[in-house]
Structure 1
Amino acid sequence: MAHSTRTASLTIDGKTYELPIHSPTAGPDVIDITKLYAQAGVFTHDPGFTSTSACDSQITFIDGDKGELMHRGYPIDQLAEKSHYLEVCYLLLYGELPSAAELEKFETTITRHTMIHEQMHNFFRGFRRDAHPMATMVGVVGAMSAFYHDSTDINDAHQREIASHRLIAKMPTIAAMAY
């Protein structure tokens, strides 16, 4: 979200608090109440979560009332209709849809990471046969860091990219095995 010099004033018991206003790439401006409790000793109340920005995201925009879900500026229905799994993965990782050459290189990279380690099969055997596939998948994905500990430094951009490629490559197989 772009930071601005605009502020909103909130007065409580005669004392005024200045709250920054930020402008997102899409959607309405937001009032930043991060320091409201620390400064004024009060919380906000929005039980329906209808006037609250949940996070600062450069990837996704959601407006439930309008039925909008966008990834990197593209409506989800357009992506579902006109793009395939790896194109959307590329978009989410790198911020734009790939050119033909970029997609070919990305597909080759992902294909090199599709095989799952033989010992990961043991995790699947450890779940009851009637376990929910999502619970099984979550467990197995969580276990991946034990097999690929060479790419767990989240502060290293290259390691994050390798971990992303592995997850993208292995997820269809893991999902199928969990199901």
Structure 2
Amino acid sequence: MLAAVNLLFTFGVIRRLREHTAELAKLRSGGAGRDDSAVSLPAGSRIGDFLAESVDGHPVTLDSLGSRPLVGFFSPSCSPCKERLPGFVAHAASRPGGRDGILAVIAGSPDEAAALLEQLRPVATVVVEPDRGPVQQAFAVDGFPAFVLAEGGRVQVSDFELASITDADAAALPSAR
């Protein structure tokens, strides 16, 4: 009898946790007007203006990244960021045009960002900025990781999953046949 009561109590707790998780996701995404899975501007949105400084000391603007930049947003304390980082680095290394058309933004202090910076610096222009820094604001980033493929100052594709970005990027790149 006690085990049955305990089981009913456990089911109740699980149901309440699911409700709370759904409510938190809704609040985090800004309410009902935005997709719960969105972590940055949706496709078609105009990217805001920004001015940042790369870790190499160069000014970075959207225009300085070329016509089709690939942008990745990472946080040192984010487990999914660490999981997707090798895929981002591999795609960036194989992307035509080199690191000038790829921007990696690390949200955190320079000390926290050191491990990510070491991996990203060879393949991307890297900006380290505080949480909610100017580049994150320009792309309306509110979760990590976030990946954006832009063209002509607008978002072409944005997602927290890297595969949809790399697929769209590969489809648009000239084939090497």
* TM-score (normalised: structure 1): 0.22
More contact order relative to length (CA 8 Å, sep ≥ 6): 2
Larger radius of gyration: 1
